[in-house]
């Protein structure tokens, strides 16, 4: 990182902590220099969180961390708060912002302004930004990228991984292999269906983002569905489902195939869309897999360059015993060294823009950092229910029970229902 960037980041953090001192005094809680005893809940592995806080002074913080499985986190939090107990702060995933924002104390605008927030953090973290202030201090981002099998592309005569979707269209027929019965033996790309495509909802969301929609947006009056451009939304949905149509030359996927991540790891899938955090697991599952990475493909000549990204931030709960201490911990964790340690432990990417520029020490990291800068998150009204909704829309189209236009309408009405 360049000296100017280091100085700028240091000034930002110092200013933010100074603001928290004033906030803590105003609230009557211990000032920034006092001991903050905090209980923090999250789905990050305890080892990763411990790595991030390892150098925090025992005179400043006494932290108890509870690791909760991601699929149990929201329910355990709701039950604990209903019983009058619970943590002081949580590591909040962006997908739970809509459902849990009413339990969070925003960081005062005097402490962290909109300009400071958006200048400091990648766009995926803006799920935490509201007109009242930031709901969380960003900690990590996990962008969607493209994993590709070098051997499969070479065998298909494809010189380089596709950068644009029109290149995907021309590459897939070369990469897909079928037997004499027409059954898919080697798939070109994990697109077309839902139930056996890992990250299907996130892939479709990224296509909607690239078409100019946000799915759900936040305004002065709350959350609203943002699918006004039915033509572009329909085009995105039609593109995704085209790869499951057995009468088309692009046919490369069906529900009878293995789950896409496993299929890629076994070497039978050429192009796989997965998160940065999957990199180590894929390497471990098949050390001999000749894979590489590339950015998530884009629409050629589009003004937008965007991929999907999961985001996390440290949020102070209204029921917490030490609001200022919780916010101070968030800013302490946003320190460049600690966020780097956390990203390394999680296999994710730092959310700080100042750390993402310049030349990286590996080809993989270059792709990861570029993707983080391009990432955008989905203000999901209900992760479980939207997964069912997306699956229903896709499978109605691929099963011949619905059209693309009705699918967009079903998606819009379903999101509106979940936001009520």
Query: Could you tell me if 176 and 114 are in contact, meaning their C-beta atoms sit under 8 angstroms apart?
Result: no
Quick one: angle between helices 336-346 and 46-53, nearest 10? 160
In degrees rounded to 5, what are phi and psi of residue 207?
Answer: -65, -40
Q: Could you give the CA distance from residue 409 to residue 379 in angstroms, rounded to a whole number?
A: 19
Query: Could you tell me if 170 and 178 are in contact, meaning their C-beta atoms sit under 8 angstroms apart?
Result: no
Higher pLDDT, 35 or 128: 128
Local confidence band at 33 (pLDDT 50, 70, 90 cut-offs): low
DSSP state of 85: -
pLDDT tens digits for 354-384? 999 888 889 999 999 999 999 999 999 999 9
Local confidence band at 34 (pLDDT 50, 70, 90 cut-offs): confident
Q: Could you give the CA distance from residue 152 to residue 158 in angstroms, rounded to a whole number?
A: 9
Instruction: Catalogue all structural domains in the chain, each as residue range(s) with its CATH number.
Output: 3-138+312-360 (3.40.190.10), 144-307+378-419 (3.40.190.10)
pLDDT tens digits for 106-157? 999 999 999 999 999 999 999 999 999 999 999 999 999 999 999 999 999 9
Local confidence band at 409 (pLDDT 50, 70, 90 cut-offs): very high
Q: Which residue has the tokens 């994993």?
A: 147
Listed in order, strand segments (DSSP E) in 239-390 are: 269-275, 291-294, 307-316, 375-376
Token pair listed for 237:
């949905």
Higher pLDDT, 32 or 281: 281
């Amino acid at each position: 990182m360049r000296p100017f960037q280091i100085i700028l980041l240091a000034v930002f953090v110092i200013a933010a902590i100074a603001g928290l001192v004033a906030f803590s005094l105003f609230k009557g809680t211990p000032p920034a220099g006092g001991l903050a005893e905090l209980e923090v809940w999250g789905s990050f592995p305890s080892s990763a969180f411990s790595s991030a806080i390892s150098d925090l002074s025992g005179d400043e913080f006494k932290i108890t961390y509870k690791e909760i499985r991601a699929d149990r986190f929201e329910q355990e939090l709701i039950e604990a708060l209903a019983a009058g107990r619970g943590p002081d702060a949580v590591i909040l995933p962006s997908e739970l912002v809509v459902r849990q924002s009413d339990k969070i104390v925003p960081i005062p605008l005097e402490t962290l302004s909109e300009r400071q927030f958006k200048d400091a953090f990648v766009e995926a973290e803006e799920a935490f930004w509201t007109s009242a202030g930031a709901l969380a201090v960003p900690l990590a981002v996990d962008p969607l990228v493209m994993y590709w099998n070098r051997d499969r592309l070479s065998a298909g005569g494809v010189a380089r991984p596709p950068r644009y979707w029109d290149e995907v269209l021309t590459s897939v027929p070369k990469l897909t292999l079928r037997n004499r019965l027409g059954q898919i033996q080697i798939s070109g790309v994990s697109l077309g269906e839902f139930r056996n495509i890992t990250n299907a909802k996130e892939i479709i969301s990224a296509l909607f983002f690239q078409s100019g929609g946000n799915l759900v947006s936040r305004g002065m009056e709350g959350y609203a569905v943002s699918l006004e451009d039915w033509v572009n939304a329909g085009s995105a949905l039609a593109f995704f489902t085209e790869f499951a149509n057995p009468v088309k030359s692009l046919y490369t996927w069906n529900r009878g195939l293995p789950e896409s991540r496993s299929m890629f790891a076994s070497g039978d899938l050429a192009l796989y869309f997965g998160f940065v955090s999957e990199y180590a697991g894929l390497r471990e599952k098949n050390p001999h897999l000749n894979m590489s990475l590339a950015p998530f493909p884009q629409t050629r000549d589009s003004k937008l360059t965007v991929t999907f990204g999961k985001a996390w931030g440290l949020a102070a709960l209204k029921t917490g015993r030490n609001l200022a201490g919780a916010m101070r911990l968030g800013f302490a964790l946003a320190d460049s060294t600690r966020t780097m340690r956390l990203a390394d432990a999680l296999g994710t990417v730092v959310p700080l823009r100042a750390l993402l520029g310049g030349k990286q020490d590996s080809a993989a990291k270059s792709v990861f950092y570029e993707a983080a800068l391009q990432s955008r998150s989905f203000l999901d009204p209900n992760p479980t229910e939207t997964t069912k909704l997306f699956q229903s829309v896709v499978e109605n189209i691929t099963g011949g029970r619905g059209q693309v236009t009705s699918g967009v309408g079903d998606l819009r009405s379903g999101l509106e229902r979940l936001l009520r």
